[in-house]
Amino acid sequence: MRYSQATTADLGRDCNIIWKVGHGRSLDLRGRGHIMAIVNVTPDSFSDGGRFVDEGRAVDHGLACVEAGAAILDIGGESTRPGATEVTASEEQDRVLPVIEQLAKRTEALISIDTYRAETARLALAAGAHIINDVHGLHREPDIASIAAKAGAGLCIMHTGRGREAEILPDVIADQMKFMRTALAIADAAGLHREGIVLDPGFGFAKNSHHDLELMARFEELRGLGLPLLAGTSRKRFIGGVTGRELAADRDVGTAATTVLLRLAGAAIFRVHNVAANWEALAVADAVLAARRHADGDAE
């Protein structure tokens, strides 16, 4: 069954809110989109692995991303690309914690820890992070929800099915709804308030290009969950399939196109490698949305 407007009564609900995150901070999602910059402190990430594995270079890159327009810096210490070697918790923490500590001292930008490990999340929040970005959407280490609730941190719940590509339901939106409702039940049980949660459909994670393109086409239906949406399409394989760009680093123009399309469909936050290009694309999309609101106001 497709999730049409008739079967999702709150599809048109305005999901633009003030996102409550850690250390008494927040991010106003009303009226404009925001960039989350990817800062991979890893030797093997699919696009920029090894470029910022050194602490100093990672910090400098994060600060440069803020200068280019990023509102959030997403710090990751383990690659999530297919076939990547899983690192130990201590290896991950050794990579990310010094970077988070330095960035927390040197910028007012929000800091996110990209991890599925509850202990790494706890330590990152203590080091100055404001947000936990869980690529396993509370399905691998559900204690992340309790850690976020206790700290008052923001939480990004990403749909994933690593190794599940063949198991995704025939209707990709139905699969999203099933996964997210399970995750939200975990969050509710942990006492995590909904104003601290953002949802990410997980483009490219245990999905083929057909899944990703259908998610693009039907993205607005995800607003039926009533929470702000994050889009992480940056340099993903499906963009290369459409544009013919084999190298991930050559997919920034295609990524910027997805930023515009998904902003117009209701996404609020965009996790990207190339901040400057996507900031400009987002500015155009926001201007169009502002013009729409103005026109709707005149029509009334």
Q: What is the pLDDT of residues 64-77, one digit of tens each?
A: 999 999 999 999 99
Give φ, ψ of 172 to 5 degrees: -65, -30
Answer whether residue 45 shows pLDDT above 70. Answer: no
In this prediction, what percent of the chain has a pLDDT beyond 90? 79
Distance CA 204, CA 236 (A): 6
Say if strands 26-28 and 18-20 run parallel, antiparallel, or are unpaired: antiparallel
Answer whether residue 217 shows pLDDT above 80. Answer: yes
Average model confidence (pLDDT) for the chain? Answer: 89
Residues 6+ apart with CB under 8 A from 186: 138, 142, 145
Which residues sit opposite 86 in a β-bridge? none
Give residue 81's pLDDT band: very low, low, confident or very high (50, 70, 90).
low
The Cβ of residue 103 has, within 10 Å, a number of other Cβ atoms equal to 22
pLDDT in tens, 86-142: 889 999 999 999 999 999 999 999 999 999 999 999 999 999 999 999 999 999 999
Residues noted as catalytic: 236, 271
pLDDT of residue 151: 98
Domain ranges across the chain: 30-299
Which residues sit opposite 11 in a β-bridge? none
pLDDT of residue 31: 86
Answer whether residue 7 shows pLDDT above 70. Answer: no
Q: Residue 43 in 3-state DSSP?
A: coil
pLDDT of residue 117: 96
What CATH number should be reported for the domain whose range is 30-299?
Answer: 3.20.20.20
Q: Within the chain, what is the greatest distance between any pair of CA atoms?
A: 58
